[in-house]
Structure 1
Amino acid sequence: MKYYYDPQNRLPYKKRLRNRCIAIAIFVAACALIGSCIFKSGEQATQPTGFVVNGNDPTATSKEWITDTLRVDSSIIDSLKEAHRAIKVKDPLTESAAKSLFGEAKASTEAATKESERNENLENTQATVTAAVTPENPPEVEIVDSVHIKNQKDVFLAEKIDNMLRRFKPMHSAILVVEPNSNEIIAWGETKNYKVQNAPDYISRNTFPAASLAKTVTIAAAMESNRYSLNSPIPDRGAHHTLYKNQLRVPENYAGPTIELQDAYAKSANPPLGIIGLNVGAKRLRDAAKMLGYNTNFPGGLPGRSNYAPPDSGYGLAEVSCGFIQSTTLSPLLAAAQVRSILAKKPLEIPWAKDLEGIAPKQRIALDVGKFSENTYYGLRAAMLRSVTNGTARKHLSTKNMARKNFNALNIGGKTGSLDGNDPNGRYEWFMGFAQSKEDPKKAIIVVIMQVHDLQGYRSQPACQVAAMIMNYWAHQTLWPKK
C-alpha cells in the first residue's frame, strides 16, 4: 500500500522542533494582538471626562481612536509578516500552519475593530433614546392630606384604609366600616378616577346597580313565605352566571340536578334564584325589599332612595329576583344598614356619624319599615356565613389574606356581586358582610366595599380581598389588645 505521507522523508527532529516553536510564537503574538485591542476598547469606553489620550481631544470619535490603535499595532503586524517570511522551510505543513495563524490574527483584528464600532454606535443610540424619553420635569409627589383621617372615629383603621386605596388604586371605590352595636360609622374611604378623596360622596349615592346583593331580598321573601328553608332543593339548570329563559322552564316531573337554597345564595346562582322569584311572586318580593330599605324616602334624603321594581310576572321578574338588571340600585350606606339589621335581628336603621354632614345622619333614627321573623333573620345570617365557607367569598376571605388566629376566632359572613353599570361607567364589584367574635359576639364589625373597574383596563384587588385585610387588621386591634 502506498502512503501519501512517506515517513522516510521526514525532516530532522531539530528542524521540526524549531518549526513548532515558531508556530507557537506566532499564535501567542496573535493572541496578544487581540487582547490589546479588547483592552484598549474597554479603556476608551470607561475613560473619565476630561482625560486626554496621546494629546487627542476627549470628544474624538471612535473611528479616530481605532485608526490610532491600528497605527500603534502595525509594528506587530509587520513583525508577523517578517516571521512568516523567515520560516519558509521545506516542510509544507509548518508553512501552511504559519499562514493559517497569520490569517486568523488578521481576521481577529478586523473583527475587533468592527465590534468596537458597533458598540460605539449602540451606546450613542441608547443615549439618544434615553434623552428623548426622559421627562424634563420629574413626576409630582402626591401630598397626603390626613385631616379626613384624623376626623374619623377609628383613626388607625381609617389610616389603614387610606393606605390600601393608595396602594391598590381602584378607579372608583367606596369603603364603609360600621360598628353594629352602636350602628356608628367608624371608618371610611373613597377614590374617584384613581385619586383618594378627602370627603365622601359615593357612600350615600343610590346610582349603583345592586347586582347579586339583590338576592338577599329573594331568599328573605322565600323564607317569609314559609315555602322554603335553607335546605330546600332548587332546580339547578345550566351555568350559574347566566340567565336564559330555558333555564327557568322547569318540567313538572323534573328529575335533574338541584341545589339547596343556601348554596344558591352563597354561590350566587342566577337560575335557581330566578326560579324562586317566579314562585314567590312580585308582591312578596316588594314587601321583603321594603323591610330591607328599598323604595324608601329616608329623612333628609340620607341615603338616596334605592330602587327595586319587579314586574308582576315573566322573565323580568326573574331578572330582578337574581339581580341580573341595572335598574335595581343600592347605596353603600343602605347595604351596611341591611347587614346590621340581619346581624342584630332588628328593624332597619341607617348608620350614622357626627362628622359626615350631608352624607349620613348625625344621630340614630328609628325607621318604620317592618321586621322579619326570627327564622328569616337566622336564615339570612346562615346564608351569608355559607358564602364564606362554601361560596363566592371563600377564595379571598380565608387564611390566604388573614392571620389564621384571627380567621379561626371569627364568624365571617357576606355577599358578593358584580354587574356592569353606567354611573360611573364600568364593572361594579360589591361585598357586604360582617366579622363577629366567636367568644364575645358584641365584638363585631360591618364592612361594605363597592369598586368600579375599567372595562378595558386595569383592575385593582378584589373586593373580598380588601374586606379580608380590613377584618384582619380590626381583629388584631380588637381581639388581641396589647397589654
Structure 2
Amino acid sequence: MDFNNYQPRKRLPYAVRIRNRIIVFAVFMGICALMGTCIFGENESAKAPPKEDSSTEAVDSTAAKASTMQAEPFAPETETPQTGMFPKADSEDIANMQASVAAAVAPAEVPPEAEVIDSTHIKAQTDMFLAEKIDNLLRRFRPEHAVILMVDPKSNEIIAWGERRDNHVQEKPDYFIKNTFPAASLAKTITIAAAMESNRYSLTSEIPMIGASHTLYKNQLRIRENFKGPFIQMQDAYAKSSNPPLAIIGMNVGADRLKSAAKKLGYNMNFPGGLPGRSTYAPPDTGYGLAEASCGFTEATTLSPLLAAAQVRAILTKKPLEIPWATNLEGYAPKSRIALDVGKFSDNTYYGLREAMIRSVTNGTARKNISTKHMARKNYEALAIGGKTGSLDGHDPYGRYEWFMGFAQSKADPNLAVVLVIMQVHDLQGMRSQPATQVAGMLFNYWAHQNLPKKGK
C-alpha cells in the first residue's frame, strides 16, 4: 500500500447527515408502531363481546334501531370495525371531539347589550358640541369614576360637563358638589399663595430639595446647618409637585397664614344652598401634620370639583372667588352669580399663581400630555395653558384619585379663555384610564378649534 498517496475520506455535508438521521429515526418509530399494533390488535380481536339474553335482544334491537333512525336518519345500520395501524374514527366521535374542544376554547358567551345613549343632558348644555365631545371621551376611555367641568371665566357660567360612574355616563352631575374627594397636590396652591402673601417668598426663591419628590419623610424636613445639597425654585417645586419643598415652605409660613389663604380659595366655607359642599382644610399648628397639609399629602384636605373651577377662575381673572353657575342645573350649581365675602389676594399673588400653573404645563407634571402630542401645533402655540395636577388614594369612592385643574387662554385675545377641571378615580386593582392631562389636552385642542379665530378672518 502506498501510504504517501493516502487521502482521508471526506465526511458528508452536515445537512445530509441530519437528513439521514431523521430518516433512520422515522423508520425505527414506524417499525415500533407496527409491532405494537400487531400485538395489541390481536388481543382486542380475541375478546368476544358478552352474550345478551335472547328474550330482550329483539326488544333492545328494535328500540335501538328506532332511536338511531330518529337521531341519524342517514347513518348506515351497521359499521364494519376497522383495525390496523391508524383505525378510522367514526363521524360521531369526530363531532363530539370538535364540540368539546370548541366548548373548552371558546365557551358560549351572551353578547353584551348595546348601551343606549341618551343625549338629553347634552342638548340642555350651553355648548352642545363641547358637551358631546366630553361625552364621547368618557365613553371611549371608560374611567371608573370621573367628572369633567368646563367654565367660561368671563361670565363664570358652566358651558359643558360630563360625569361617569357605575359603569355608565350620568345624566346628572352629582360629583359637582361632592366634598369627600381628597384635594391631593391641588392643596399646594394654598401653600404658595400663603408664601407669596407673606412677602417672604417669590417664585424664584430657592428651597432645599431633600430626597425624592413624591415622598414625605421626617428626615426630608430637617435642614442641617450649612446645607450644601440641591435646591429647587418654588415655582418648579409647585410645577413638579415636589412634596418636601412645599412642606418646608408651609412649616415656615405657619398654620395661620395657610388658613387665611385657604379661606380666600373657598375652603371651610358653607356656601348658599350647600352648593357646593364644604371643602375642608385644617392643618395643625406644628409638627408633621402641618407638613402633610402644606403639600396635600393627606386625605383630610378635601375639595369639590365646583370649588376647584372657582379657584382657577379667580386666579385667571384676578377677582374674588365666585362659584360657577348654570340655569339648568338646579341642585348641582347656583342658578345665578352670587358674590362671596371671602376677600382676595394681592395682584402680585394672583400673577405668581398664574405663572406657577403655566410652568406646570411647560416644565412640570402636565408637560408630557398637554403638548403637541395631543394638540394641534397651531392651537398649542396660540394658547397660554396653565394647570395643576394631583393624585392620592381615597375611600369615598375607593380608589386612586387623579386631578387636573387649569385654564387655556388665547395669547392674541385674553378674553377668549376656558376653565377646565377633571377628576378621575381609578381602580387600584384594575386598568387605569387615560391620564387626566391627556384628556385635558384633547379638550383644550377641541375648544381652540371651535373658538379661536381662523387665519384670514
Taking structure 2 as the reference length, the TM-score comes to 0.80
Q: How far does residue 424 in structure 1 lie from its aligned partner after superposition?
A: 0.8
Q: Deviations over 1:75-105 (max 9, x none)?
A: xxxxxxxxxxxxxxxxxxxxxxxxxxxxxxx
For the residue of structure 2 that corresponds to 1:174, the secondary structure is strand
Aligned-pair distance for 1:67?
5.2
Map of 2:412 onto structure 1: 439
Matched, 1:324 2:328: no
Classify 1:426/1:67 alpha carbon distance in 2 versus 1 (closer, same or farther; 3 Å).
same
Tell me whether 1:126 sits opposite 2:80 in the alignment: no
DSSP-derived class of the 1:320 partner: helix
Q: 2:360 aligns with which of 384, 387, 409?
A: 387
Distance 2:162 2:394 in 1: 21
Sequence identity of aligned pairs in percent? 70
When residues 371 and 117 of structure 1 are mapped into structure 2, their CA distance, relative to the original with a 3 A threshold, is same
For residue 233 of structure 1, what is the aligned residue in structure 2? 206
Question: 1:294 — aligned with what?
Answer: 267
Match of 1:462 in 2: 435
Pick the aligned partner of 1:407 from 366, 380, 383: 380
Q: Does 1:366 align with 2:339?
A: yes
Measured in 1, the distance between the counterparts of 2:250 and 2:346 equals 19
- Aligned-partner residue type, residue 434 of structure 1: F
Separation in structure 2 between the aligned mates of residue 269 and residue 386 of structure 1, nearest angstrom: 14
Shift of 1:138: 3.3
Q: How does 1:79-478 map to 2 (within 5 A)?
A: 123-129=98-104, 133-135=107-109, 137-478=110-451
Distance in 2 between the 1:238 and 1:340 partners?
34
User: How far off its partner does 1:129 sit?
Assistant: 3.5
Matched residue type, 1:133: P
Aligned residues of 1:66 and 1:113 also touching (Cα < 8 A): no
What count of residue pairs does the alignment treat as equivalent? 386
**Alpha-carbon separation, structure 2, partners of 1:467 and 1:421:** 22
C-alpha distance 470-58 of structure 1, shift in aligned 2 (>3 A): farther
Give the 3 Å change call, closer, same or farther, for CA 64–446 of structure 1 in structure 2: farther
How far 1:195 sits from its partner (Å)?
1.2
- CA shift for structure 1 position 404: 1.2
Q: Higher helix proportion, which one? A: 1
TM-score by length of 1: 0.76
Counterpart residue type for residue 153 of structure 2: P
Output the CA distance in 2 between the equivalents of 1:337 and 1:424: 23
For structure 2, the 5+ residue unaligned runs are: 2-71
Q: CA deviation at 1:120?
A: 6.7
Pairwise CA RMSD: 2.6
Q: Structure 1 residues 60, 454: closer, same or farther in 2, change over 3 A? A: farther
Aligned partners of 1:163, 1:65: CA distance in 2, in Å?
Answer: 65
Identify if the C-alpha distance between structure 1 residues 64 and 312 changes in structure 2 by more than 3 Å, giving closer, same or farther. farther
Which sections of structure 1, spanning at least 5 residues, go unmatched? Answer: 2-55, 71-109
Whether the 8 Å CA contact 1:154–1:186 is kept in 2: the answer is yes
2:452 paired residue number? 479
Contact 1:217 1:288 in 2 (8 A): yes
**Offset from partner CA, 1:399-443 (integer Å, 9 cap, x none):** 111111111111110000000111111110000000111111111
Contact kept? 2:307, 2:323, Cα under 8 Å: yes
Seen in structure 2, the aligned counterparts of structure 1 residues 57 and 206 have a Cα distance that, compared at 3 Å, is same
Distance 2:102 2:400 in 1: 43
CA distance in 1, matches of 2:80, 2:270: 85
